[in-house]
């Protein structure tokens, strides 16, 4: 087997995962960090690549997946050749592995990219204190306006 194909798939999926991580961080916290997203993306793609290599180098494991796929294809009423079954089994196994690590990717993106910096925390604290002072001033103003004349 040519190892160029798994490595090309690895890097293609890593780029896609990095873009997905950037989109996730933008949606979750409106921040982007290319380097952290690339790190999370490369960690995400590791398990599907290990599954790909395991299926390519383990005839027993590949036969288990092709047997399962042939069962489902038979239930639908289709007939396929052995190579098509192998391709579908490989795709199915990689998809399952990718689904498993996607929840981890969501969490890692949130932890690694969305954590606030010291400047952001300071700005949040300042904004919170300004709101609190405004509320206190409004409350004091309301008490002065509503104060009964004695």
Domains in the chain: boundaries: 4-115, 117-150
pLDDT over 90 (residue 105):
no
Is the pTM higher than 0.95? The answer reads: no
What distance in Å separates the CA atoms of residue 89 and residue 60, rounded to the nearest whole number?
Answer: 13
| Spatial separation of the C-alpha atoms in residues 80 and 69, rounded to whole Å | 10
> Which tokens is 125 given?
């604290």
Measured at the CA of 23, the angle between CA 97 and CA 40, to 5 degrees, comes to 50
Nearest residue to 47 (alpha-carbon basis) of 112, 108, 95? 95
pLDDT tens digits along 69-90: 888 888 887 777 888 889 899 9
């Amino acid at each position: 087997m040519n190892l160029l194909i798994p490595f090309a798939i690895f890097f293609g999926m890593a780029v896609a995962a990095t873009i997905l991580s950037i989109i996730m961080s933008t949606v979750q916290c409106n921040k982007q960090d290319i380097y952290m997203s690339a790190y999370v993306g490369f960690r995400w793609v590791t398990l599907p690549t290990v599954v790909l290599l395991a299926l390519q180098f383990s005839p027993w494991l590949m036969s288990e997946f092709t047997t399962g796929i042939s069962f489902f294809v038979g239930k639908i009423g289709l007939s396929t050749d052995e190579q098509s079954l192998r391709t579908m089994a490989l795709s199915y196994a990689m998809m399952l592995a990718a689904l498993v690590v996607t929840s981890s990717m969501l969490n890692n993106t949130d932890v690694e990219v969305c954590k606030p910096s010291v400047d952001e925390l300071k700005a949040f604290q300042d904004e919170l204190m300004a709101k609190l002072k405004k509320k206190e001033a409004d409350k004091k103003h309301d008490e002065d306006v509503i104060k009964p004349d004695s």
